[in-house]
A = this chain, B = another copy of it.
Amino acid sequence: MKNLLNILDLSEKEIEELIATAEDIDANPDKYRDACKHKILATLFFEPSTRTRLSFETAMLSLGGGVVSVAGANTSSAAKGESVADTVEVVSGYVDIIAMRHPKEGAPYVAVRHSSVPVINAGDGGHYHPTQTLADMLTIYREKGGFENLKIGFCGDLKYGRTVHSLISAMSRYKGVEFVLISPEELKLPSFVKRDYIEEKGISYIESESLEDNIGSLDVLYMTRIQKERFGSEEEYERLKDSYILTEEKMRLAGKETIVLHPLPRVNEISVKVDDDPRACYFRQTVNGKLMRMALILKMLEKNKSSEKNDGAFQENTFVSDKYDCTNPHCICECEQELSRLFYKDKTGKVFCAYCEHEASEK
């Protein structure tokens, strides 16, 4: 792992090592206070995200390193039309590691191809957000003692929730895991996620519209927000909205050991009255996020002995072609100029855009 774009870039063993490091940092912070002395992290946030940015920045400062920051596209050269490729090519000449958030899917893959230093994806549109998944996993590990034999419920917007897709893909690698997928009909888990990470692996799961019916049986409840505009209709929204809000009443139906996670920020999908419930883990989860980012930065800076480019990173067997087109309007290839169009084939022969991983269409 030179870069981290997708949680699946990390093997179970690598995640285990990161968790061990994170726990050691938590127990012995003094040991790590100068671990990254004289190293510099750049947080390139082409889209604002205060918490994630501060988590990365305080992680680096707590390791003794320095930080420079671009917070929000309006203060960047992006306004002058500079490409992600050029920005990263230049910034990677100034710093030792980059954490990048971008509204377009696949932007971090462009970054990796032009960076001479490690790149961490801090969220690329609806695509990936692997360090959130690391925060989720450390939380589950600490609260539950491990990853096996857990019944994990996901509640809310399972269609667009990138953190849900990532955590499902990560947890699907552990023995005895079961999933409970709770959402309105129109916001069900996409079929490719269900196929690749649940069905093909023979994992037991149920789908339901009701949080109340299922909360009692869960080891982990992963809440997400549903934006009003994502419901099928106003009536549908009115009918369902309250059923996806976690209240003290619903917590009374939950198991004694059911832990509640949320990637934050929340709006109103978890009542603040739940915050003092010992089963509410979402604030501990953010502290865990900082610890895992510290472990990750440490590991990536240790590994990064060479300074070659990463042309072959991420998807293997990519090829440049003008026979295909990426038609995903949220893909970085829609706005980055002179970007070579890269594709890859899966085992069935289907062609995918190497940046956003959406299926490509023939021209």
Contact = CB atoms under 8 A, between A and B. Distances in A.
Interface residues of A, number: 55
Interface string A57-95: 110011010111111101111111110011101110111
Contacts of A79: 48
A191 interface: no
A287 interface: yes
Contacts of A350: none
A58 B72 CA distance: 19
A267 interface: yes
Contact of A40 (B62, B74, B264, B266): B62
Contacts of A82: 50-51, 264-267
Nearest to A72: B75
A165 interface: no
Which of A54, A74, A78, A86 is the most central at the interface, judged by chain B CB atoms within 10 Å of its CB?
A54
A93 B26 CA distance: 12
A301 to B, nearest CB: 15
B58 A77 contact: no
A50 B87 contact: yes
A337 interface: yes
Contact of A75 (B71, B286, B287): B71
A286 B89 CA distance: 10
Nearest to A82: B265
A161 to B, nearest CB: 15
Interface of A: 33, 38, 40, 42, 48-51, 54-55, 57-58, 61-62, 64, 66-72, 74-82, 85-87, 89-91, 93-95, 264-268, 271-273, 275, 283, 286-287, 290, 337-338
6 contacts: A50-B82, A71-B71, A74-B75, A75-B75, A81-B265, A89-B275
